[in-house]
Structure 1
Amino acid sequence: MEDYRQIQLAELDRKIEETKKLLLDPQMEDLAKTEIADLEKQKEDVLTTYQQASNEENSEDLDQRNVIIEVSGAAGGDEATLWAKELLRMYTRFAEIKGFKTEALDEDVIKIEGNGAFENFKFEAGVHRVQRIPATEKRGRVHTSTATVSVLPELEDIDLHINPSDVGFEAFRAGGHGGQNVNKVSSAVRIIHKPSGIIVTSRTERSQLQNREIAMELLRAKLWEIEVEARHGEIAGLKSTQVGRGTRAEKIRTYNFPQDRMTDHRINKSWRNLEGILDGNLEEIVKELSLNLKAM
């Protein structure tokens, strides 16, 4: 995937070249010079934040950040959607056990706040497969469903600056819970990031301003994910980096209900007691993954 900041730089270069044409017009020359200086400053800011992000990714600073977790049903229809909700509950329970604060950002997205939050959840990114007999299955057949987990550190604008002109905002009426205000007022927000095509939404708050702030948090996190995946794709042979970060396409884990066993395929290790695991008892698993994946 193309690096987002490369898209930004290319767009700024294009604007600079277009504006330079105005220098030939005496009436527009002063305005053009001001605009070019502003664009050059934006370009310098992008390059600076890119270097800061590169340095930060190689440090342990991100581990101490808050974390944003998105869980989406993948293969398996309604069962996959149900499985995604169970995983989201598992992470919420684990956060409570760790003493972290949890906040719903959207229907399938939560933010977990606390020192070391990202460190505790960063190895959960990838595809989680479940094998079990659904409640609606009359013949007792085992079905396989999957859910995709995305784990992203919470970033500030100083970490990854987004040009306001690259973003489009739309307000709409949110459905679901929330009372009359949710139904009558366009408080939900949808953000379209023009260079990348990414679309994010937030509808959990009653205030449009709050939802807009949440949506920008999500957008920054997703753009960071694009950069990390692009950077890792350029580094051949660093398998440990690929495994350690986890990507949306990586099948990392299977939860086998008939055998009451959860297996993490990255370290080829299994744990029993799925009921306890899904109730948030992940401490042992997190420690094992941290120890083994960092050592690979």
Structure 2
Amino acid sequence: MLQDKLQLFIDRFNEINDLLVSPDILSDIKKMTELSKEQSNISKIVDAAKEYNQIISDIEDNKMLLGDDELADLAKEELKELEQRKPELEAEIKILLLPTDPNDDKNIYVELRAGAGGDEAGLFVADMFRAYIKFAENEGWKTEIMNSSESEAGGYKEMVFLVKGESVYSKMKFEAGVHRVQRVPATETQGRVHTSAITVAIIPEVDDVEIDIRSEDLKIDTMRASGNGGQSVNTTDSAIRITHLPTGLVVTNQDQKSQHKNKDKAMKVLKARLFDMQEQERMDKEGADRKAQVGSGDRSARIRTYNYPQGRISDHRINLTLYRLDVIMNDGLFHEIIDPLIADHQSKLMEMSGV
């Protein structure tokens, strides 16, 4: 019974309340943080459970009043509203009870890389970067460039940036994969449509405690920065390249004038990449069910096509096509694609979980 299932969350919430004021927990910062986080994670379910219990109680009370001549009309009206709200709330609760991805509340690193298509791919990296920054602004998130590598045509071979805010990973994880663009390049004299592609990686930010890197496993090189970074970039050896020897992962950073700041940023990205690599290996072992559960399947899969001549954007995973390409890119309206992806993901989770 749904009420019995929900009562477990209410009981646990109350238990945590008692624990948080106990002397043993007050003197243990780590345990207090863990309990506070757990309480925060179940608070929405608890609020919904209390509302659900109240609705059940109110329905019973109003049914009893239907035989009262003076209050029958009022009870009938309230009963109609309650019985309309009850299935709506049950649907919300089903979603709240779905298994969650432990990374959903984390900040992320977004890595955009030019793939097939040469200069056009690099220009599309720049377009996607601007569109994602706009989307982040719309969501009230903060962004910070970690590293960039410019291409000759004015785009980027690579762009890495940090996105901070509420539920960032839970929304942006669906952007991971290959994005294909079809348009007529500015240099094309015959008006022919060219196809190019970029890859998008969405990597959760990690705490230092989550990943341990031995100093002897690192090779750190300093070098002169390249690109249009102004005079100081080209005259100081401030750029950093860190190689993680056991895995061969390489991270470079040259966006800051300070070598120390570049090293610090590069280390943060390296830790996130290593953690992400470990997570991918773990999911591969656990099989397809786990991949479906966290919503991040094959990263080499082509997930979306942006067709400029037709003004069309198509997400191939859910057969969604919108003829709003310009406004989505210019105004960063990615929620028009991400919201249906989340709904599809939740319905699949319901099937798997039997909710």
TM-score range, shorter chain: 0.7 to 0.9
| Contact kept? 1:244, 1:294, Cα under 8 Å | no
| Contact kept? 2:111, 2:160, Cα under 8 Å | yes
Q: 1:264 aligns with which of 307, 311, 315?
A: 315
| Contact kept? 1:187, 1:207, Cα under 8 Å | yes
In 2: Cα distance, 1:259 partner to 1:230 partner: 39
Q: 1:197 aligns with which of 207, 232, 248?
A: 248
| Contact kept? 2:101, 2:294, Cα under 8 Å | no
Taking the TM superposition and a 5 Å limit, the aligned residue runs for 1:83-102 are 83-102=124-143
| Contact kept? 1:170, 1:190, Cα under 8 Å | yes
| Contact kept? 1:240, 1:293, Cα under 8 Å | no
In 1: Cα distance, 2:289 partner to 2:103 partner: 20
- The CA deviation string for residues 115-134 of structure 1, in whole angstroms up to 9 with x for no partner, is 22222211100000111111
Shift of residue 59, structure 1, vs aligned partner: 4.6
| Contact kept? 1:232, 1:241, Cα under 8 Å | no
Partner residue, 2:187: 136
Check if 1:244 corresponds to 2:295.
Answer: yes
Check if 1:286 corresponds to 2:348.
Answer: no
CA RMSD of aligned residues (A): 1.8
AA matched with 2:163: I
| Contact kept? 1:105, 1:214, Cα under 8 Å | yes
Q: What's the TM-score, normalizing by structure 2?
A: 0.64
Q: 1:223 aligns with which of 256, 263, 274?
A: 274
Higher share of residues assigned helix: 2
In 2: Cα distance, 1:237 partner to 1:154 partner: 24
In 1: Cα distance, 2:253 partner to 2:293 partner: 30
| Contact kept? 2:242, 2:250, Cα under 8 Å | yes
Check if 1:69 corresponds to 2:71.
Answer: no
| Contact kept? 1:131, 1:144, Cα under 8 Å | yes
AA matched with 2:117: G
Partner of 2:103, secondary structure, is helix
Taking the TM superposition and a 5 Å limit, the aligned residue runs for 1:22-101 are 59-101=100-142
- The CA deviation string for residues 54-98 of structure 1, in whole angstroms up to 9 with x for no partner, is xxxx75442111110011111111111111111111111111111
In 2: Cα distance, 1:152 partner to 1:219 partner: 10
Partner residue, 1:120: 171
Percent identity (aligned): 41
AA matched with 1:292: D
Partner residue, 1:45: none
Partner of 2:338, secondary structure, is helix
In 1: Cα distance, 2:256 partner to 2:106 partner: 23
Q: What's the TM-score, normalizing by structure 1?
A: 0.76
Partner residue, 1:52: none
AA matched with 2:128: L
Taking the TM superposition and a 5 Å limit, the aligned residue runs for 1:205-216 are 205-216=256-267
Check if 1:175 corresponds to 2:226.
Answer: yes
Partner residue, 2:283: 232
In 2: Cα distance, 1:256 partner to 1:243 partner: 29
In 1: Cα distance, 2:129 partner to 2:278 partner: 25
AA matched with 2:188: E
In 2: Cα distance, 1:242 partner to 1:225 partner: 16
Shift of residue 215, structure 1, vs aligned partner: 0.5
| Contact kept? 1:232, 1:242, Cα under 8 Å | no
Higher relative contact order (CA 8 A, sep 6+): 1
Instruction: Name the larger-Rg structure.
Output: 2
In 1: Cα distance, 2:314 partner to 2:242 partner: 37
In 1: Cα distance, 2:194 partner to 2:230 partner: 37
In 1: Cα distance, 2:100 partner to 2:234 partner: 45
Q: 1:132 to 1:199 in 2, by over 3 A?
A: same
Count of paired positions:
239
Partner residue, 1:103: 144
| Contact kept? 2:101, 2:293, Cα under 8 Å | no
